């Protein structure tokens, strides 16, 4: 399970990171709203711990933008603001939980576990975008109601794109997150391109428009038809 901490208080962020890593979570940290927003769009996280009062772009703005883009990653707001109005604002903008500083780490861990348990139901295991549907439990894939057979790597690739629909995906991202290779090389680029060609043939060829498109010199994007 991977968690993102978006917190500008570096001592607190470090302490939280250590506590979560002790519990065997993978943890990334961002110290500003912009950095957090970038990471959320670049990588998959199972949960986000989001401070409200951040330099530059505040947490409420980050949260609102994520929800407008139909990103359903669970978010726990961490903040020193404890008025009813602040709590209502955060929850109305899409937060799943709200924790007021200072808080006890065991309580935070309990809330994280509860949210992660809640997220592992069948609805959360269904990804939809651009006429595509992917069931992560049964591993069924449909486009416009028509079943599509994918290999294990093609399924993993498509899941990656569905989680980032509307966002450009580079070969660097695919190498790191799908092939788990930190340094790109020409042979790997060729492997990526072969798998992308096969995937696109299966999900696009028999339909009226392509949903995965090439952004020349940058990468690929899965998006709704214009």
Residues 36, 131 within the same domain:
no
Report how many domains make up the chain: 2
Q: Confirm whether pTM is higher than 0.75.
A: no
- Predicted pLDDT of residue 123: 46
- Predicted pLDDT of residue 43: 81
Give the range of the structural domain holding residue 13, as residue numbers without chain letter: 2-119
Residues 212, 135 within the same domain:
yes
Per run of 10 residues, the mean pLDDT along the chain (length 226 residues) is: 93 94 91 92 88 90 88 88 78 88 90 78 69 87 93 91 86 86 76 94 89 90 81
21, 27 contact by CB (below 8 A): yes
92, 85 contact by CB (below 8 A): no
Estimate the crossing angle of helix 186-204 against helix 152-163, to 10 degrees.
Answer: 80
Residues 31, 109 within the same domain:
yes
Of 89, 119, 149, which marks where a domain is finished?
119
* Rounded-to-10 torsion of CA 39, 214, 64, 28: -10
Cα 162 to Cα 213: distance, rounded to the nearest angstrom:
13
Residues 84, 38 within the same domain:
yes
Strand 212-215 and strand 146-147: the pairing is unpaired
The CATH number of whichever domain residue 39 belongs to comes to 3.40.50.2300
Residues 114, 130 within the same domain:
no
- Predicted pLDDT of residue 122: 42
Length of the chain: 226
- Predicted pLDDT of residue 10: 94
- Predicted pLDDT of residue 76: 94
The CATH number of whichever domain residue 183 belongs to comes to 1.10.10.10
Q: Any residues with CB less than 8 A from the CB of 218 and at least 6 apart, and which?
A: 168, 170
Residues 93, 130 within the same domain:
no
63, 50 contact by CB (below 8 A): yes
Cα 60 to Cα 34: distance, rounded to the nearest angstrom:
12
């Amino acid at each position: 399970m991977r968690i993102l901490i978006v917190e500008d208080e570096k001592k607190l962020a470090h302490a939280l990171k250590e506590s979560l890593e002790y519990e065997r979570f993978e943890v990334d940290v961002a110290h500003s709203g912009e950095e957090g927003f970038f990471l959320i769009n670049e990588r998959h996280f199972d949960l986000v711990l989001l401070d409200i009062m951040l330099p530059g772009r505040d947490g409420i703005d980050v949260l609102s933008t994520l929800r407008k883009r139909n990103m359903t990653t669970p978010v726990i707001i961490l903040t020193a603001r404890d008025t009813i109005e602040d709590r209502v604002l955060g929850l109305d903008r899409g937060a799943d939980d709200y924790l007021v500083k200072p808080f006890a780490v065991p309580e935070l861990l309990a809330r994280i576990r509860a949210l992660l348990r809640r997220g592992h139901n069948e609805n959360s295991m269904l990804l939809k975008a651009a006429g595509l549907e992917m069931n992560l439990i049964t591993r069924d894939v449909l486009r416009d109601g028509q079943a599509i057979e994918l290999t294990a790597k093609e399924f993993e690739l498509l899941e990656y794109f569905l989680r980032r629909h509307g966002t450009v995906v580079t070969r660097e991202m695919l190498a790191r997150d799908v092939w788990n290779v930190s340094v790109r090389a020409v042979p790997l680029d060729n492997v990526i391109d072969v798998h992308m060609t096969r995937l696109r043939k299966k999900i696009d060829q028999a339909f009226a428009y392509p949903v995965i498109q090439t952004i020349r010199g940058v990468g690929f994007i899965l998006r709704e038809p214009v």
